Amino acid sequence: EAGVAQSPRYKIIEKRQSVAFWCNPISGHATLYWYQQILGQGPKLLIQFQNNGVVDDSQLPKDRFSAERLKGVDSTLKIQPAKLEDSAVYLCASSLEGGGQSGNTIYFGEGSWLTVV
Amino acid sequence: AQKVTQAQTEISVVEKEDVTLDCVYETRDTTYYLFWYKQPPSGELVFLIRRNSFDEQNEISGRYSWNFQKSTSSFNFTITASQVVDSAVYFCALSDLQGGSEKLVFGKGTKLTVNP
């Protein structure tokens, strides 16, 4: 079974530029997450989708970050304009079904490594 | 609010030594889930185990074992006879089921280096 796919793996941009990351979750997984992992820290949730609806985006900096999952499968995370502090690994993850006390396992992709200079 | 503490930032051992990674959590939920993930240098978070709050039985999987103690809010991870391939950052995580979401709250991770 294919895992969570992400691209690009690495991206270097200048501050104030824009960048977009793509994620394809595990087939059949209704819930998709974007996490941000700053060097030396644990991942932090940015946004959670259930199918194509947003469940939780309370920690997404909405002035510069946006995400969509239009058809309930693939998702795109965009940053515009980027700041130096956005340098991090952006991890996409998926699970069978979230939103409640299911305790489903969340599977992660390899991440997209962003460096803002 | 949910919180996970991994007090050990870095651990270095010699191959074949046993090593225990500590995890302490805080939650007000009566039902919750605990996880351990391994993050090798490639960056992917690899799922190791999930444990629900009602199951306090310890678990063993090959060289890996987990000790869940609700009384001390701890979920420690032991690697027996460590190998170089075990070198990675290990994260403990706690489910946060508030507000209809089901996100994970992670600790800061413990970097394990196993030397030959």
Tell which residue, B28, B34, B89, B98, has the closest CA to residue B66: B34
Does A99 score more than 70 pLDDT?
no
Residue with tokens 């007000």: B28
Q: Which amino acid is at A15?
A: K
Does A100 score more than 90 pLDDT?
no
Distance CA A77, CA A20 (A): 6
pLDDT of residue B34: 92
pLDDT of residue B42: 85
pLDDT bracket for residue B56 (50, 70, 90): confident
Residues of chain A neighbouring B101 (CB-CB closer than 8 A): 45, 48, 55-56, 98-99
Segment B50-75 shows an average pLDDT of 91
Tell which residue, B54, B108, B103, has the closest CA to residue A100: B103
- Do residues A80 and A47 lie in contact, with contact meaning Cβ atoms separated by under 8 Å? no
- Phi-psi label, residue B11: left if phi above 0, alpha if psi -120 to 50, beta otherwise: beta
Q: What is the mean pLDDT of chain A?
A: 92
Determine contact: A108 vs chain B, CB below 8 A: yes
**Distance to chain B for A42, nearest Cα, Å:** 5
Angle formed at CA A10 by CA A44 and CA A83, multiple of 5 degrees: 60
Q: What does the block give as tokens for B63?
A: 């060289």
pLDDT digits (tens, 9 = 90+) for A14-70: 999 999 999 999 999 999 999 999 999 999 999 999 988 998 999 999 999 999 998
Residues of chain B neighbouring A34 (CB-CB closer than 8 A): none
CB contact under 8 A, B104 and A106: yes
